[in-house]
Amino acid sequence: MNTKFSLNLLHVFIILITMIDSKTSLKMTALSLWHHFHLKKMIRWMFYGSVSFLLVCLIIDQSISFYVRDRVFEDVDKLPYHPYGVVLGTSKYVATGKTNDYYTNRLAAAKTLIDHQKVSYLLLSGDNRTSQYNEPRTMLRDLRKMDIPRDRLFQDFAGFRTLDSVVRANKVFQVPSYTIISQKFHCERALFIAKHHNIDAVCFAAKQPDTYLGTRIRETFARVKAIFDLVIGIQPYFLGNPEPLPLPDNE
């Protein structure tokens, strides 16, 4: 009798264990399915979000180009005269040690404007973060080697960003109107910033290097950041007191 009772009790225990295990399995299956569908939903929303963000970036990029299209000149003969050309700085060398074509072409464009009397002076605006890295000083040295007189060259050592260079030329150096000198894609962003600050500026587009896809992609995101900076009212790092530059006698 005791043996039979023990067997029945064991049978009931096994059934209970089986039921508990079955419920646990069902619960785990349900959780697994929930996580699976939730993950798919997250991936789908991340995909849609990424596509939407890229679409907005492209719209901003093309809108800026369209907005300033009549202020960009590639033919020096069609470029109107302005007293100053503002050369936007960049590094002279790339990471491999090779001379940076963006730098070389900007200086060549600056000399072209001086030679064609499209500007009277050049304001060399760039980064001066360390004693070893000084964009305005490097540009001045190389332009002097290109036979541009020293009294035609001025330096802005606080042109840390495009926004700084554009705004400081007008607000600090009191240049009423000027020609920006850089590659076309960079010019467009600089002109957009100038228009936002009611600055009268045009751009002479320096020659574009043959390979610039990576730079152009970065420019797209730089334009989005420029919009953000203007919306929240970002100002140059240093404005300081006005330091008026000389103007030609006929100005």
Per cent of the chain over pLDDT 70 is 83
Query: How confident is the model at residue 16, as a pLDDT?
Result: 44
Host H or E run for residue 206: strand 200-206
Chain segment 93-133, per-residue pLDDT in tens: 988 889 999 999 999 999 999 999 999 999 999 998 777 78
160-173 mean pLDDT: 96
Average pLDDT over residues 220-230: 92
Side chain identity at residue 192, one-letter code: F
Task: Return the closest-CA partner of residue 158 out of 214, 239, 251.
Answer: 239
Out of 37-41, 94-98, 139-143, 216-220, pick the least confident: 37-41
Parse the chain into domains and list their residue ranges: 68-232
- Is the pLDDT higher at 28 or at 124? 124
Count how many Cα atoms sit within 13 Å of the Cα of residue 108 in the half-sphere of its side chain.
12
Residue 64: phi, psi to the nearest 5? -65, -45
CATH topology for the 68-232 domain: Rossmann fold (3.40.50)
